[in-house]
Amino acid sequence: MNLHATWSPIAQSSNRPIVTAAILLTLALSPTPAAAQSDPRLLDALRIAQEGGSDSARVLVTTMLRTTPPTDSLYPQVLYTMGLVSRNIEEMRRNYTRVSVEFANSSWADDAIYRMALLDYAGGNLPGATRQLERIRNDYPDSPVLGPAAEWAARSLFDQRKRDEACAWLAIGMERATEDIELRNRL
């Protein structure tokens, strides 16, 4: 199981309520192409959450947050996982922000920024989503989430009627999605 997120779009951008619902429903627990979760306790927490035990999953991750020192390299991963199993969007955003700011050099920072961009997109904050995705492109140019980020940047920019910028992102995404047929098809 892998913790990071991409998914196939369910509907066109013009059907924003459907897209928004799909993003919010799958945002927390769907896989992405980046680094896989490495701690079995976190994998168990995610499995429990996927099986409907969100409260139990949060207890497990909260316990790990309390017992893992912030200086431990595992801490950003635990904090990121807390974002995945959060009770609400505000809590998600707070956890992802902490990862992206306090642990900007961790392998989880770009994924946290990607998640925040998806939250912005789902909430209709298209300029915010674009800014977050630009952060990935500028600050993490070798990130494995740059391909999926390109998809959402293009969507956001097309929705803002910024066709040239959207097409530039599509080109970035196509360049990055060399082996990801599904992503290439969506792009």
Q: Which of 154, 160, 176, 172 is nearest to 9 (CA)?
A: 154
**∠ CA 69-70-73 to the nearest 5 degrees?**
90
Residues 67-112: tens digit of each pLDDT? 999 999 999 999 999 999 999 999 999 999 999 999 999 999 999 9
Residue 64 CB-density burial (10 A; 0-12 exposed, 13-18 middle, 19+ buried): buried
- d(Cα 92, Cα 98) in Å, to the nearest integer? 10
Name the pTM for this structure.
Answer: 0.82
Residues 12-56: tens digit of each pLDDT? 345 555 555 445 444 443 444 334 567 899 999 999 999 999 999
